Amino acid sequence: MSAPIEDAKVPKFINFVIGGMSGIIAQIVTHPMDVIKIRMQVSQDSLRIAAFRTLCTNGVCGFYAGLSAALLRQLIYTTSRLGIYTTLLDIGEQHFGYLNYVTMVSFGMIAGVMGSFIGTPTDLVLIRMVADVNLSSEKRRKYRNAISGIFNIWKTEGFFGLWRGAIPTMGRAAIVNGAQLGTYTRAKKLLQDTGYIQNDISLQITAAMMSSVITCSVSIPIDAAKTRIQNWRQSTKPPNVLAMIVNIAKNEGIMLLWRGFLPYYSRAAPNTVITMVCVDQLHQMYSKFCLM
């Protein structure tokens, strides 16, 4: 993920283009697991029941519910976070050379917070489109696509309603991106230094797998709280993210905070691998063919 100093001539906007392209490719491949994870978090369904309910309700196409919102989210959120992170790394390496792990994690957290704030409306629509199947027919929102969902929320809940759950979304993004991007960059450097893995693709995949384990373990509780807040159906105001985490742990058991871990990891691991490998490979291709 870290662009070396000799690649510093890559225009900054290319970092954003590559980030968006990588996110879209990863999302298309891993979206079904994202759907199951969300549906497990808004209900008490097991993995098997959530998958069976999805299949029986909407068929195979049900595993791609909310895809338009997911892709729009990638265009906004992933383009921003990966573009900002890569740009920060480029600038940091040019001015300071070697960057330590704390700096890499900090850059990832900054990029995640900024990208998630911009992308919160699309994340909100995604959650609601996917969670509709768990509601009775009269309570379903039935957004036709991401754009209609955004305008529907704007009309019924006001402009700022589009940022419902923004704080937990930003908190989750800070943790996810700090752990994912910082750990990926650090793991790749560590593996390169040890000399155990020389092949580029193998190096990138191994570093991404290491990154995804840490990312999933530390981020899923806040992700579960965020999902509950964004899918809140009661007339009262939803609790803040900390209160929601405490409420889930108290009323449903602390292990429920990790409900959906298997689909979460099954989605996050390949998503991380595909995204990070695409970013690195696209950067290399651009440097090879466009900067000659």
- For the chain, the domains span 5-290
In CATH terms, the fold of domain 5-290 is: Mitochondrial carrier fold (1.50.40)
Residue 25 pLDDT: 93
Which is more confidently placed, 11 or 92? 92
Where residue 292 falls among pLDDT bands split at 50, 70, 90?
low
Q: ∠ CA(62), CA(160), CA(178), 5° rounding?
A: 70
Q: What is the pLDDT of residue 48?
A: 85
pLDDT digits (tens, 9 = 90+) for 144-172: 899 999 999 999 999 999 999 898 889 88
pLDDT on residue 3 = 44
Q: What is the mean pLDDT of residues 12-17?
A: 86
First vs last Cα of the chain: how many Å apart?
Answer: 21
143-152 long-range contacts, Cβ below 8 Å, gap at least 24? Answer: 143/69, 145/68, 145/69, 146/66, 146/68, 146/69, 146/71, 146/72, 146/122, 147/68, 147/72, 149/69, 149/125, 150/121, 150/122, 150/125
Residues 6+ apart with CB under 8 A from 40: 46, 47, 50, 259, 260, 263
pLDDT at 4: 42
pLDDT at position 2 over 60: no
Beta carbons within 8 Å of 35's beta carbon, 6+ residues apart: 54, 62, 63, 64, 65, 66, 130
Q: Average per-residue pLDDT in the chain?
A: 86
Tell me if the pTM is above 0.85. Answer: no
Identify the pLDDT of residue 117. 95
Q: Three-class SS of residue 142?
A: coil
